[in-house]
């Protein structure tokens, strides 16, 4: 199963719009995840703007970005640089691309009538920019090519005779190849996203592991 995650900072309007457009392009069975630092739900303004394009996004949930620590995706699209910096290490270490699309919720000043006009214009402009990016991502074959990076990498790991366990700085397991499954008796599905010290207590890695001395 393929998966794609859209991440941004701000109110989540950009990831919701990206997910809404992506639904028309992703292969059947592909999971789509939206994430921002706070999570939440689509705003009425975003729902209305997307309805103008014939797309219903009212059912889309915005996850807290920390939820990605336990989420499997083949590609992450950071819609702003700050979101890319905030993205936690993810199981499978999927490739990340950055678009840097304008935040339509950027602060504005002036009379309410002028503010509403600017806000609506910014929202539609951002929506149209995201639609173009999404169309190119899928119609030009970028999603397929980038998501296949993970498939190829996993294939390489699984064809090695040595057991390979990859974890992040918090000891959370990101990769666990077939040889590691055979050696340890654990499956990748059981250990991915969990602390290697919880799965393998008692200095399993041996004296050369820099993480085994940490509490």
Q: What is the dihedral of CA 140, 141, 146, 147, to 10 degrees?
A: 140
**What one-character-per-residue DSSP string does 116-171 give?**
HHHHHHHHHHHHHHHHHHHHHHHHTSHHHHHHHHHHHHHHHHHT-SS--EEE-TT-
Q: Tens digit of pLDDT per residue, the chain (215 long)?
A: 578 999 999 889 999 999 999 999 998 889 999 999 999 999 999 999 999 999 999 999 999 998 888 788 889 999 998 898 888 888 878 889 999 998 887 654 444 443 344 457 788 999 999 999 999 999 999 988 888 877 777 788 888 888 888 887 778 787 788 888 888 898 887 888 788 888 887 666 665 666 665 54
The token pair that represents 97 in the structure block: 């691309």
Q: Quick check: 3 and 37 in contact, CB under 8 A?
A: no
pTM above 0.85, yes or no: no
The token pair that represents 75 in the structure block: 């590609």
């Amino acid at each position: 199963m393929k998966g794609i995650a859209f991440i941004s900072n701000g109110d989540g309007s950009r990831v919701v719009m990206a997910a809404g457009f992506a639904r028309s392009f992703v292969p059947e069975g592909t999971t789509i995840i939206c994430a921002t630092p706070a999570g939440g739900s689509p705003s009425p303004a975003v729902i209305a703007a997307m309805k103008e394009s014939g797309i219903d996004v009212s059912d889309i949930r915005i996850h807290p970005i920390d939820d990605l620590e336990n989420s499997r995706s083949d590609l992450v699209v950071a819609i702003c640089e700050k979101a890319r910096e905030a993205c936690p290490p993810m199981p499978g270490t999927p490739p990340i691309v950055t678009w840097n699309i304008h935040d339509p919720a950027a602060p504005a000043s002036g009379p309410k009538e002028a503010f509403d006009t600017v806000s609506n214009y910014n929202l539609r402009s951002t929506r149209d920019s995201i639609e173009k990016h999404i169309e190119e991502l899928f119609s030009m074959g970028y999603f397929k090519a980038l998501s296949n990076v993970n498939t190829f990498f996993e294939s390489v790991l699984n064809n090695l005779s040595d057991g390979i366990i990859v974890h992040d700085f918090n000891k959370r397991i990101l990769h666990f190849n077939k040889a590691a499954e055979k050696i340890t008796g654990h499956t990748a599905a059981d250990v991915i996203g969990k602390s290697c010290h919880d799965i393998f207590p008692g200095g399993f890695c041996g004296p050369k592991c820099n993480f085994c001395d940490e509490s």
